[in-house]
Amino acid sequence: MRAPLPATIADEDDGRLLQLSGAELAGRLVQRYGERVTGHFVMEGREGRYVPLPDDLPAPVAAALRTRGVARLYEHQGQAWAATARGEHIVVATPTASGKSLCFTLPVLTSVMTAGKKALYLFPTKALAQDQVAELLELNAAGELGVRAFTFDGDTPGDARQAIRLHGDVVVSNPDMLHQAILPHHTKWAQFFENLRYVVIDEVHAYRGVFGSHVANVLRRLRRVCAFYGVTPQFILCSATIGNPAEHARALIEQPVTPILESGAPTGPKHVLLWNPPVVNADLGLRASARSQTNRIARTAIRAGLKTLVFAQSRLMVEVLTKYLKDVFDHDPRKRPRIRAYRGGYLPTERRQAERDMRAGQVDGIVSTSALELGVDIGALDVTILNGYPGSVAATWQRFGRAGRRQQPSLGILVASSEPLDQYLVRHPEYFQDASPEQARIAQDQPLILLDHIRCAAFELPFRAGDAFGGQLVEPWLEVLAEEGVLHREGERFEWIADSYPANAVSLRSVAEGNFVVVDRTGGRQAIIAEVDYSAAPLTLYEGAIHMVQSVPYQVERLDWTGRKAYVTRTEADYYTDAIDYTKLKVLDGFDASHAGRGECHHGEVHVVRRVAGYKKIRYYTHENIGYGNVSLPDSELHTTAVWWALAQRTLDEAFERRQDALDGFLAAATALHTVATVAVMAEGRDLQKAVGSGDGAWFATPDSSGHARVHTGWGDEGVDPHAPFIPTLYLYDAFPGGVGLSAPLFDRRAELVDRARQLIGQCDCRLGCPACVGPVLASDETAARSMKELGTAVLDLLADL
Amino acid sequence: MTDLAARLRRLRGQAGIAVGAAATMAPAPRVPVDLARLLAVRRPASMRQRSGTLAPTGLGRELAPGLWLAEETTDWPPLPSCFDASFAKLSEPIDPEDLLFLDTETTGLAGGTGTRAFMIGVARWKGRQFVLSQLTITTLAGEAAMLEQLRAWVGPATVLGTYNGKSYDAPLLTTRFRLAQQASPLQGLRHIDLLHPVRRRWRAQWPNCKLATAERQLLGVVREDDLPGAQAPAAWLRFLRAGDPVDLYRVLKHNAQDLRSLAGVLNHIIALPP
């Protein structure tokens, strides 16, 4: 049910009566702040394309839909119905708010009512799961359908669980629960599995990278358990807009998938603004904060009578922005609050109340974390403002998609922070307009991940020596597990005999255990506030490090390396810390190679050794270096996959006067390439790393405090033998032992990456170089013959297939 | 060690997993790169596959390949022909000859489909005698025969008598039947789980309600040299892998006493004034 359009809102502050549409607001913002708007386009509205309700839809379901105001289906919902009726797996990748739910609700309800079948829904969050159940139950009540739907997650009380297993028609859960609680106890679910028909998985674009690789394996285990009960379930997947939804869906379930990509839902025109805060210090390339811009835009929008939703990246930022807006709009405590905050950490009852108020149209401005990104229904909105880039183009569109009442123009604004990725995206409106450059990838056969899941699968059901798992013969893996002592081989059978529960030791979000926990000891307490990957720990948890958790700074007092614990306390320090880390890379094996411009590009296996030698203390805002600290931690070693580019000595000698220039160019090029590559494969944070060094591991280069390359051979400062062959190499490697599937697609797209990196540098507003393109440089670089930008461009030109 | 194992070991070390003492087999014809480092670690003796072990006659007689049965019959004072079981929330009176006491020894307490019973002990009253029967599997393949034998001992009139069996033993055995793709004969049977009436009556007075506490308090039973239940899984593994039955015999003894104590506690409760 949609909330009614608001009456025009009187702005009590200045007594003006303003009511603008989203389009008008966009126009005004561009007029007043044109130089900050890096992109402005309109996605045209669309008429709806409809099909009648299917004939074979059971009458009670059709009646229930009609009482809810649905008398016909959108075209894509009709296609989903037809495809599932043909027994096909489908992936629905239409935009947000296009009615994807009905694509799975109708087939599921029909199978429950006509054939007594069951369905399993997997959602990434509990809030979304609860929302789905609520919606199903409403439809159920409207048509008296007799369908029993329940959530089954960590909060489900013990005595309710047995009832759900036996009587649930639709069980709504999440991948972690499936992995840890349902599959290892599948005999308790025997009746459910025996009658299972549909498995619905929402937000599948989120199952990428390490997490996606794990989930793909959990699905392999699910299919294996289903086969034990004689069942082959049919999958209905939903995805946000990414570049490869069909391919990704197929990789996740290892079956052919019918894609449904065109939405038949009507939309009003969508205005999109990309906003870059103004430069406030040209020398250092510093910009105003995203927060200051968001605040201003939100105020203008709310004063203009537009319902506004602001997305912030952290809970702290939600509180900060809410305070700014409340200071303006809610200073009279006698009146109903117009501004509300919404984030995880609030009690579920508080959040449900907030959602109800929003649906009822009583809130004018909402500030939220990504907790509201997904399908929770909060009524109609006019404007969404993103404070900082949410990490992927797909996530950006999902958040933009929250705004828009039927046929009314809506407005989405992305405000960039100073992070290189933000700066890169905000200058490329075409990424948001045209086909997405993002492709979701998984590495479901990553050895450590696969081993963990074969171990879990062996706990669930015994294996025979000739069996396969995920298309591979499983016997060598079983032998490894037998040597580990958890399996016992008897003839052809491998059975679980250990006194342990393997699923508890496998986290779906990391590669093997070994993660560090961050323990807050402020005020004498002992609270675990965060978890950090084993590979990121030496860079962020050394003693003395300032470590941010949800944008709140803590200082690491003690690091217990073997115990995998970091003890921190809250700090008010006015600086942040930056680890000085030396990385040495050596090529072990090449899988593939090709020419790249006048150089070469390779894909293969590398050995990476990383040492954190110390850290710099850097004052906020001014970026002055105010001190150093020592770090003594063990080296990290890594065998992983990588993509690398190299140029021959002769080519470099022709193009550059000095070797130092060539090295600076490589460092600059590496920064730009890393940014574009991260976007291209939708890598998360630190999943993809960069390095510049010699292909044989003889030396490597890191930026010094002025951003220029300094070469190291050992771990000290010795220079390179000027007579040795000079073949600098630029590496992009996966940050996990064994790789995580990023290198292969990067190699396939190598020409595109070099091209985009050249454009990134070329289009950057800075003069000599800045963190957004080639890395930070000093203003004193003005005297240099060629700037870092020029040098980076020169290297990329040599690598480009012009 | 296979190539895959060496590679996994290296990767796991790089991921921060403490890689403990590994098993190594005789070197394969093609020596993997890491072997030199790995040969520094010797394989613990218990991991070797047993060969040519003596038959574990302490487990009784071999009923089927990999399944052993130990039986013992003792005299027992006469029992009432039926008794009131309302203390166990059962409305009809029970014939003691319908009772089947049941206690399992399992490969772990973690639960889930990877846990199995390697020993099932049952006990019944037949007239003035107490018949104790204990099934033990010595191979994994023996489980099928063990489940079949249990099914033969159970009928629709059977009343199960256990200690925490409603939460533990019965669901575990049901899981094993289902994994063997059979219906569980325990479903729908009447079940007296003595943990609950014991708790209701004596929780406030005793430090805990374990069976060992109940038997000591109510029956004056004190066990000597008893193998704690938590060590039972390891005892069985020691036999399975290395052919060493000594601790497994102690598990058998522990299990037998559990069954006798079960019967004794039930007797005690029946004899109490209402």
pLDDT tens, position by position, A510-543: 776 567 889 999 988 888 888 887 777 888 899 9
Percent of chain B that is helix, strand, coil (3-state, to 5): 40, 20, 40
The per-residue pLDDT for A18 is 61
Which helix (H) or strand (E) segment holds residue A466: the answer is: none
Contact assignment for B11 to A491 by CB distance below 8 Å: no
Provide, as residue numbers in chain B, all residues whose Cβ is less than 8 Å from the Cβ of A483.
1, 5, 22-23, 25, 47
A693 or A645, higher pLDDT: A645
Identify the pLDDT of residue A714. Answer: 60
Subunit contact B23:A501, Cβ cutoff 8 A: no
Strand A308-311 and strand A383-387: pairing? parallel
Q: Write out pLDDT tens, residues A403-420.
A: 766 666 789 999 999 888
Q: What is the pLDDT of residue A419?
A: 82
Is B11 near chain A, with CB under 8 Å?
A: yes
Cα end-to-end span (Å), chain B: 66
B23 touches chain A (CB under 8 A): yes
The CA-to-CA distance between both ends of chain A, in Å, stands at 55
Among the listed ranges A211-220, A437-446, A486-495, A561-570, which one has the minimum average pLDDT value?
A437-446
Indicate yes or no: CB of B114 within 8 angstroms of CB of A512.
Answer: no
Chain A, 633 to 652: residues with Cβ < 8 Å from chain B are 636-639
Q: Indicate if the pLDDT at residue A666 is higher than 60.
A: yes
pLDDT at A769: 78
Return the higher-pLDDT residue of A469 and A352. Answer: A469
pLDDT digits (tens, 9 = 90+) for B134-161: 999 999 999 999 999 999 999 999 999 9
Question: Which pLDDT tens digit goes with each residue over B164-205?
Answer: 999 999 999 999 999 999 999 999 999 999 999 999 999 999
Question: Touching check for B65 and chain A: CB below 8 Å?
Answer: no
Whole-model pTM?
Answer: 0.84
Q: Give chain B's largest Cα–Cα span.
A: 76
One-letter amino acid at A565 equals: K
As a whole number of angstroms, the distance between CA A112 and CA A742 comes to 41
Q: How distant is the Cα of A156 from the closest Cα of chain B, in angstroms?
A: 18
The H or E element that residue A576 is part of is strand A575-596
In the predicted structure, residue B69 carries a pLDDT above the cut 80: yes
Give chain A's radius of gyration (CA, Å): 28
Q: What are the strands of the beta sheet with A118-122, ordered from one edge?
A: A149-151, A170-173, A118-122, A196-201, A234-238, A89-92, A257-260
Whether the pLDDT of residue A147 is over 90: the answer is yes
- pLDDT beyond 60 at A434: yes
Q: Do A498 and B108 touch (CB under 8 A)?
A: yes
- Name which of A574-578, A706-710, A732-736, B40-44 the model is least confident about: B40-44
Q: Which of A213, A492, A496 to mutate to test the interface with B (most CBs of B within 10 A)?
A: A496
d(CA A175, CA A173): 7
pLDDT over 50 at A15, yes or no: no
Of A244, A194, A257, A254, whose CA–CA distance to A219 is shortest?
Answer: A254
- B4–A639 C-beta distance less than 8 A: no
A513:B15 CB<8 A: yes
As for the ipTM of the complex, it is: 0.85
Do A480 and B114 count as a contact with CB atoms less than 8 A apart?
no
Task: Flag whether residue B5 sits within 8 Å of chain A, measured between CB atoms.
Answer: yes
Q: SS in 3 state form for A152-186?
A: CCCCCCHHHHHHHHHHCCEEEECHHHHHHHHHHHH
pLDDT value of residue B37 = 41
Q: What is the pLDDT of residue B151?
A: 97
Nearest chain A residue to B46, by CA: A485
- The neighbouring-strand residues paired with A608 are A585, A638
Judge whether A515 is closer than 8 Å to chain B, CB to CB.
yes
pLDDT tens, A591-624? 999 998 999 999 999 998 888 888 989 887 676 7
- The answer to whether A575 and A716 have CB atoms below 8 angstroms apart is no
Nearest CA in chain B to A609: B14
B46 touching A (Cβ < 8 Å) = no
pLDDT at residue A262, rounded to an integer: 93
* Residues in chain B within 8 Å Cβ distance of A463: none
Check CB contact of B2 with chain A, cutoff 8 Å. yes
Place of tokens 């704690």: B228
Question: According to the model, what pLDDT value does residue B22 have?
Answer: 42
The residue of chain B nearest to residue A494, with distances taken between CA atoms, is: B140
Q: Which of residues 120-179 of B touch A (CB under 8 A)?
A: 139-141, 171, 174-175, 178-179
- The DSSP letter of residue B120 is E
> Distance of alpha carbon A238 from its chain centroid, rounded?
16
What confidence score (pLDDT) does residue A420 get? 81
Residues 404-443 of A with CB under 8 A from B: none
| Residue A647 confidence (pLDDT) above 80 | yes
Contact A501 B22 (CB under 8 A): no
Query: What does the pLDDT read at residue B33?
Result: 37
pLDDT higher than threshold 60 for residue B49: no
Whether chain A has a CB inside 8 Å of the CB on B187: the answer is no
Which of A 590-609 lie inside 8 A of B, CB atoms?
A: none
B86 or A224, which is more confident: A224
- Mean pLDDT (whole number) for B118-122: 97
Chain B positions touching A491 (Cβ under 8 A) are 141
- For residue A44, what pLDDT is reported? 86
Whether A491 sits inside 8 A of B141 (CB atoms) is yes
Q: Report, as an integer, the average pLDDT of A214-232.
A: 97
| A 217-256 → B contacts, CB under 8 A | none
Backbone angles phi, psi at A421, to 5 degrees: -65, -45
Question: Mean pLDDT of all residues in chain A?
Answer: 86
pLDDT, position A8:
39
Is pLDDT above 80 for A145?
Answer: yes
Share above pLDDT 70 across residues of chain A, in percent, rounded to a whole number: 91
pLDDT higher than 90, residue A183: yes
Mutate to test the interface with A, among B11, B43, B139, B166 (most CBs of A within 10 A): B11
Tokens read off for A300 = 């203008």
CB neighbour class for A45 (10 Å; exposed up to 12, middle 13-18, buried from 19) = middle
Question: Smallest CA–CA separation between A409 and chain B, in Å?
Answer: 50
Question: Closest Cα of chain B to A142: distance in Å?
Answer: 37
Confidence of residue A720 (pLDDT cuts 50, 70, 90): low
Structure confidence at residue A79 as a pLDDT band (50, 70, 90): very high
Give me the residue from B47, B112, B141 closest to A185, CB to CB.
B112
What are the structure tokens assigned to A193, written together?
């599995």
On the question of pLDDT at B95 being above 80, the answer is yes
Confidence bin at A556 (pLDDT 50/70/90):
very high
| Least confident residue range of A486-490, A706-710, B4-8, B80-84 | A706-710
Determine the average pLDDT of the residues in A681-694. Answer: 83
Share of chain B above pLDDT 90, in %: 63
Chain A residue with CA closest to B11: the answer is A737
Query: Residue A705 has what pLDDT?
Result: 65
Q: Which residues of B touch A184 (CB under 8 A)?
A: 112-114
Q: How far is B17 from chain A (nearest CA, A)?
A: 5
pLDDT tens-digit readout, A291-300: 999 999 999 9
A17-58 pLDDT per residue, tens: 467 788 888 888 888 888 899 999 898 888 899 999 999 999
**Closest residue to A187, CB basis, from B8, B113, B139:** B113
Contacts of residue A32, defined as CB under 8 A and 6 or more positions apart, other chains included, come to none
Tokens found for residue A695: 């292909």
Mutate to test the interface with A, among B2, B7, B14, B239 (most CBs of A within 10 A): B14
Determine whether the interchain pair A500/B175 forms a contact, defined as Cβ–Cβ distance below 8 Å. Answer: no
- Asked whether the beta carbons of residue A483 and residue B178 sit closer than 8 angstroms, the reply is no
Looking at residue A314, what is its pLDDT?
Answer: 81
A458 touches chain B (CB under 8 A): yes
Query: What element of type H or E holds B199?
Result: helix B195-202
Between CA B163 and CA B196 the distance in angstroms is: 8
Name the residue among A229, A230, A250 with its Cα closest to residue A239.
A250
> What was the pLDDT predicted at A351?
72
Interface contact A190-B178, CB threshold 8 A: yes
**A355 Rama class: left (phi>0) / alpha (psi -120 to 50) / beta:** alpha
Partner B contacted by A460 (CB < 8 A): yes
CA distance B131 to chain A (A): 30
